[in-house]
Amino acid sequence: MDTMRATVLKELQQALITISVENKPVQSLVVALSGGKDSVVMLDILACLANDNTVFATELPSLYAYHVNHGLSADADDWEQHCANLCAHRDISFQSISISIAHKSRTSLEAQARELRYRRLLEFTKQVDGALITAHHLHDQVETVLLQLKRGAGPKGLAGMQPLSYREQVPIIRPMLNVSQDAVNRYALTKKLSWVKDASNQDERFERNFLRQTIIPQLETRWPSLSSAISRSARFCYEQALLLEQETTTKLGAVQDGSNRLTIAALLEHGELWQKQILREWLKQFFPLSPSASVLMQIQQMLTAREDSQPLVEIGEFAIRRFKGQLWCTPQFKYLPEQMRFSENGVTLPLWGTKLTTGSERPSSTLLKRIRLVTGMPAIKIKPVNKAHHKLFKEWLKEWEVPPWERLHIPIIFFEEMPIAVCLHDKIMALQTPADIPAIDFIYK
């Protein structure tokens, strides 16, 4: 067996063993097949291993190849057909999908295409209960680390890619991560493989192409072992980042409650650097991207803000707020209109993503037409059932510890002009009403 196949076999076996220990054995391997040289080499090696009954103690999982046609090149359909032919020649199951990309401002077309490609690959891999196999090699790793260094990344970013990682619970295996580009080229020429050539890979306006065509060759001319050294540093950074994440997770557990809110007093017991790490780990529960240094500084300033203040830091679709000695991370929700009729199918409350409907004894359509939801009435006086006095709605909201940013948007349910219930986050509070008002049971679904 040649060195390339031996390397891929070793990495693949180790990854499959790790996956079996951490989760459960995968039923299939899905090769991300672009049709380019690297992915064709990966496909050929796996096809050879699948046909060699002596290399695996047990049968190799079912093998698939998946191609994403971005439609960005005039040759895109020809590339897809080439991938189909490669798989047919090797008796490998081939799947493809065509996608269209609507260019978004402030996001490169390259990044959008990559993200959408991964989304489709992961979706298919989940369907076949598999692991995704990519053809990333040593020089891809070098490019990744250099780009992260340019962006000012910390140890986690400088760790680059790993031989085995997970995304949306899907294992991603990179068996060629320690294989050089030269070794990939030699294998492709020796095996007389055919692959597609994307002219855009020569366009140095793209950062990776600039590194690949101009920077890395010059660096390796001066320091021939640089790529291996960078890969080694990435591995050290990964180990350090993993240890830091484990310790931070423990510290986070001590300052976070069951609703994923941070207790400020407990967080302030840690030094400034640990506060940053704990905040980063906390925010990972809500969105995958790490916050910038300036955003972290704004959140840290919230920790010592006046108790009666209402500081706010917005991050994408989320908002960080302070209330009752805790930090909250809440979605940037849509609000109900000030008045809304109740329908037979109920009403979705966007504040919490909860559906309000009636109980098993559904009122008649005539009664339902007389029900409406109203927000923005802090000065109305109401009396909950089993309470002794009427009070202003805003005073009840304080007593019920409703966060300030929600109070103007808490709906009151009216039967004609009579308030009959209040919709809170975890319950529906019935109000005292005259005897002639029909009793209607409301529930959340």
Please write the tens of the pLDDT for every residue from 122-140.
999 999 999 999 999 999 9
Neighbouring CB atoms inside 10 A of 265's CB total 11
pLDDT at 441 over 70: yes
Q: Is 34 annotated as a binding residue?
A: yes
For residues 231 and 305, which has the higher predicted lDDT (pLDDT)?
231
Q: Per CATH, is 3-237 categorized as 3.40.50.620?
A: yes
Q: Per CATH, is 256-331 categorized as 1.20.59.20?
A: yes
Predicted pLDDT of residue 75: 86
Predicted pLDDT of residue 289: 76
* 363 within 8 A of 438, measured Cβ to Cβ: yes
Question: CA–CA separation, 306 vs 321, rounded Å?
Answer: 13
Q: Is 39 annotated as a binding residue?
A: yes
Question: CA–CA separation, 268 vs 260, rounded Å?
Answer: 17
CB neighbours of 317 closer than 8 A, spacing ≥ 6? 287, 331, 332
pTM given for the model:
0.78
Structure tokens at 390: 């009427």
Question: CA–CA separation, 379 vs 29, rounded Å?
Answer: 62
Q: What is the rounded average pLDDT for all residues in the chain?
A: 91
Predicted pLDDT of residue 56: 66
pLDDT at 357 over 60: yes
Please write the tens of the pLDDT for every residue from 397-415.
999 999 999 998 999 999 9
pLDDT at 57 over 70: no
Most confident of 183-187, 313-317, 361-365: 183-187
Most confident of 20-24, 57-61, 330-334, 422-426: 422-426
**Structural domain boundaries in the chain:** 3-237, 256-331, 339-444
pLDDT at 290 over 90: no
Q: Is 36 annotated as a binding residue?
A: yes
Most confident of 49-53, 106-110, 263-267, 365-369: 263-267
Under the banding of pLDDT at 50, 70 and 90, the label for residue 32 is very high
Strand partners, 171: 166
